[in-house]
Chain A
């Protein structure tokens, strides 16, 4: 037992003398947290589009059309830029912008003169949502212009074609509109069809999760996989430096030596867990419940993953082969087990396969712990399963180190 603690202390000391490697390992989740925060921020992500408007008419009416894209809620979704026609075409061709709206010269005159008016809309095919919204807004504008023409077209045409309208013309038009509005008032006031708009209020007990927060558990377990890979590879250094052989010729046991390694790895994984949770909370804004349990879970799962990869190393005849095999396993587990991409973003077929991966199982328990949903009995069983698996891998690893790896 004493030798086990000495071995753990030795491995911790070795890492302490190599702070760069230690920082790279422990700092992985911190870096991932920083990147997620930089990409997605702490708030829920809101899409924002760019509407390019080439206004060749430059009239009051064309200005109203341009203004329509930034009215009320649309203003939160779109940025409008006035551009010359050529620049607008170039920019939309190169994918810079959600849509290009071209208001041709004579648009205003056509609308007021009940002639056929047109607005040309060019959308960006590489975007899916924003161009559709721009198209919808433009359709509403066109329909509005048509209604205006139907109701007031003759008058507008007369006024615009004959210079300053006479008082009699204005009075006659006013009386006609008054009769028109009186006739339709019964439909409008009150409205025959009442539309009730009910906005779904956010549930105060349910937080909106941003993309960074959704990816945070996956990224944490990806860091666990990479760290386990790096730590397991150290057994080749022990072999190359003959320190493993020296252990065998002492009265101490290989189990003590490996036990020390596992103990040290648990501490390192716990440190990784603490850094990961802190970066998740403060950089991404993730809600973390059961932090202590989460750290213990990361340490336990990291220890098991370390033992699995270390055992795998003992089956290889050289370090290069071991690195390739470990890489293959880590990448496959990472891809399928929801560490590179959350399950929510994976195709159903892959998700069904991926959920059988051991890291996926661990990741789902981790999410439960973070969300505070973990059932204590089930969690205890999960811890027991992980520690049991670690013990099995440990026994096999100690035997292989002593009787196979050194020969």
Chain B
């Protein structure tokens, strides 16, 4: 659905996007994760036709966005980071205008409006001017405007920024629903937990470059990132240390009286062998906590710095 090949976008001497290549498929939520200024919005701008790439090639639904821009844009629905709404119009008037801009005609426009108003829960306030809406309601309407023409590709540029938790949950559910219905969703965010919970595949971006991409499990594996297993109980520390040392790929971070932290790839699969080794060493295990490696820790490992907002 979206094919980006060696995309470059240069402003003066600064490369906002530098040699980015990725593919997003129908029914998939593809996350572009990175700090502010990483080049996520520029990438979406190039895909949506707002910006002209300096180099590289982008296709949406089989159409080249530069050479066949109109056809390429027809397949796309964009939910921009900013609220691209007329706050002096009502929700219905906004939807009529943006639906018209997408080429929807009367009956399908009317049906589309009714559907997205219901989806976003704005039907009760649809005839109010947008300036009277709360921030969350405006976000939902912003989303509805991008969704109205049932696009094959949905480009979401940090759609949950500044949204209250209730609206956020609703928006994320809507996105999952769209992907389930076959829409290809490209989702940019700098919220790690959002990317982790929502995206099927993730590309990590920093300083305009894609530094890694794949499923969450692939990314973890790719980086050799280990899970952490915290154990509590009663044992002989030296006996436990010796028993764990015999297991492959297990790194004992600290072990002391009554507590130990082990680092291991894919820890959930290693739990039986760990418990068996500890049992043979005479340990009485009272508790175990498994912490999977997070994107945050991956990002730190990849870039040497924390993900900044």
B70, CB-defined interface residue at 8 Å: yes
Do B101 and A3 have beta carbons less than 8 Å apart?
A: yes
Q: Which of A244-252, A317-325, A349-357 sits within the interface?
A: A244-252
Q: With A and B bound together, what is the CA distance between A131 and B49 in angstroms?
A: 76
Also in contact, A250 and B98, with CB within 8 A (given A241-B84, A242-B83, A245-B50): yes
Do B73 and A249 have beta carbons less than 8 Å apart?
A: yes
Q: Point out the residues of chain A lying under 8 angstroms from B145, CB to CB.
A: 246
In A303-329, the 8 Å CB interface with B consists of none
Do B73 and A251 have beta carbons less than 8 Å apart?
A: yes
Do A18 and B73 have beta carbons less than 8 Å apart?
A: no
Do A242 and B84 have beta carbons less than 8 Å apart?
A: yes
Neighbour of B93 across the interface among A2, A13, A406, CB < 8 A: A13
Neighbour of B85 across the interface among A243, A247, A250, CB < 8 A: A243
Q: Point out the residues of chain A lying under 8 angstroms from B101, CB to CB.
A: 3, 6, 246-247, 250-252
In the complex, what residue of chain B is closest to A10 when comparing beta carbons?
B97
Do B73 and A246 have beta carbons less than 8 Å apart?
A: no
What class of interface size applies to chain A in its complex with B? 20 to 34
Q: With A and B bound together, what is the CA distance between A245 and B85 in angstroms?
A: 11
Neighbour of A2 across the interface among B70, B82, B100, CB < 8 A: B100
B263, CB-defined interface residue at 8 Å: no
Neighbour of B50 across the interface among A6, A13, A243, A406, CB < 8 A: A406
Q: Point out the residues of chain B lying under 8 angstroms from A252, CB to CB.
A: 100-103
Do B100 and A241 have beta carbons less than 8 Å apart?
A: no
A17, CB-defined interface residue at 8 Å: yes
Do B86 and A14 have beta carbons less than 8 Å apart?
A: yes
Also in contact, A6 and B88, with CB within 8 A (given A13-B93, A245-B50, A246-B78): no
Counting residue pairs across A and B whose Cβ atoms lie within 8 Å, the total is 72
Q: How far is the CB of B75 from chain A (nearest CB, A)?
A: 9
Identify which of B71, B88, B97 gathers the most chain A CB atoms within 10 Å of its CB: B97
Neighbour of A245 across the interface among B74, B84, B97, CB < 8 A: B84
Size of the B side of the interface (Cβ < 8 Å), in residues, is 29
Q: How far is the CB of B51 from chain A (nearest CB, A)?
A: 8
Do B103 and A251 have beta carbons less than 8 Å apart?
A: yes
B264, CB-defined interface residue at 8 Å: no
Q: Interface digits, A1-31 against B, CB 8 Å rule (1 contact, 0 not)?
A: 0110011011001100110000000000000
Neighbour of A241 across the interface among B87, B96, B98, CB < 8 A: B87
Neighbour of B98 across the interface among A2, A18, A246, CB < 8 A: A246
Q: With A and B bound together, what is the CA distance between A407 and B129 in angstroms?
A: 29
In A145-159, the 8 Å CB interface with B consists of none
Neighbour of A249 across the interface among B48, B82, B100, CB < 8 A: B48
B214, CB-defined interface residue at 8 Å: no
Q: With A and B bound together, what is the CA distance between A2 and B78 in angstroms?
A: 21
Q: Interface digits, B43-83 against A, CB 8 Å rule (1 contact, 0 not)?
A: 00000111100000000000000000011011010101011
Do A251 and B87 have beta carbons less than 8 Å apart?
A: no
Q: Point out the residues of chain B lying under 8 angstroms from A18, CB to CB.
A: 88
Also in contact, A245 and B93, with CB within 8 A (given A3-B101, A6-B100, A17-B129): no
In the complex, what residue of chain B is closest to A240 when comparing beta carbons?
B82
Q: With A and B bound together, what is the CA distance between A58 and B61 in angstroms?
A: 106
In the complex, what residue of chain A is closest to B76 when comparing beta carbons?
A249
Q: Interface digits, A214-249 against B, CB 8 Å rule (1 contact, 0 not)?
A: 000000000000000000000000000111011111
Q: Point out the residues of chain B lying under 8 angstroms from A13, CB to CB.
A: 89, 93
Q: Point out the residues of chain A lying under 8 angstroms from B71, CB to CB.
A: 251
Q: With A and B bound together, what is the CA distance between A350 and B80 in angstroms?
A: 52
Q: Point out the residues of chain A lying under 8 angstroms from B50, CB to CB.
A: 245, 248-249, 406
Q: Point out the residues of chain A lying under 8 angstroms from B85, CB to CB.
A: 241, 243
Neighbour of B70 across the interface among A3, A246, A251, A407, CB < 8 A: A251
Do B89 and A242 have beta carbons less than 8 Å apart?
A: no
Q: With A and B bound together, what is the CA distance between A245 and B157 in angstroms?
A: 13
Do B88 and A14 have beta carbons less than 8 Å apart?
A: yes
Q: With A and B bound together, what is the CA distance between A248 and B88 in angstroms?
A: 21
In the complex, what residue of chain A is closest to B79 when comparing beta carbons?
A246
Q: How far is the CB of B218 from chain A (nearest CB, A)?
A: 31
Q: With A and B bound together, what is the CA distance between A6 and B93 in angstroms?
A: 10
Do B48 and A10 have beta carbons less than 8 Å apart?
A: no
Q: With A and B bound together, what is the CA distance between A13 and B145 in angstroms?
A: 18
In B92-123, the 8 Å CB interface with A consists of 93, 96-98, 100-103
Neighbour of A242 across the interface among B76, B80, B96, CB < 8 A: B80
Do B49 and A248 have beta carbons less than 8 Å apart?
A: yes
Q: With A and B bound together, what is the CA distance between A88 and B144 in angstroms?
A: 79
Q: Point out the residues of chain B lying under 8 angstroms from A251, CB to CB.
A: 70-71, 73-74, 101-103
Which 6 pairs of residues, A with B, have the shortest CB-CB distance?
Answer: A242-B84, A246-B84, A242-B82, A6-B100, A250-B101, A249-B48
- Could you tell me which B residues sit within 8 Å of A by CB distance? 48-51, 70-71, 73-74, 76, 78, 80, 82-89, 93, 96-98, 100-103, 129, 145
Given A10-B89, A13-B89, A250-B101, 12 more pairs with CB closer than 8 A = A9-B97, A10-B93, A10-B97, A241-B87, A243-B84, A246-B98, A248-B50, A249-B50, A249-B76, A249-B78, A251-B101, A406-B50
- Could you tell me which A residues sit within 8 Å of B by CB distance? 2-3, 6-7, 9-10, 13-14, 17-18, 241-243, 245-252, 406-407
**Interface pairs (21), CB distance under 8 Å:** A2-B100, A3-B100, A14-B88, A14-B89, A17-B89, A17-B129, A241-B82, A241-B84, A242-B83, A243-B84, A243-B86, A246-B98, A248-B50, A249-B50, A249-B76, A249-B80, A251-B102, A252-B101, A252-B102, A252-B103, A407-B51
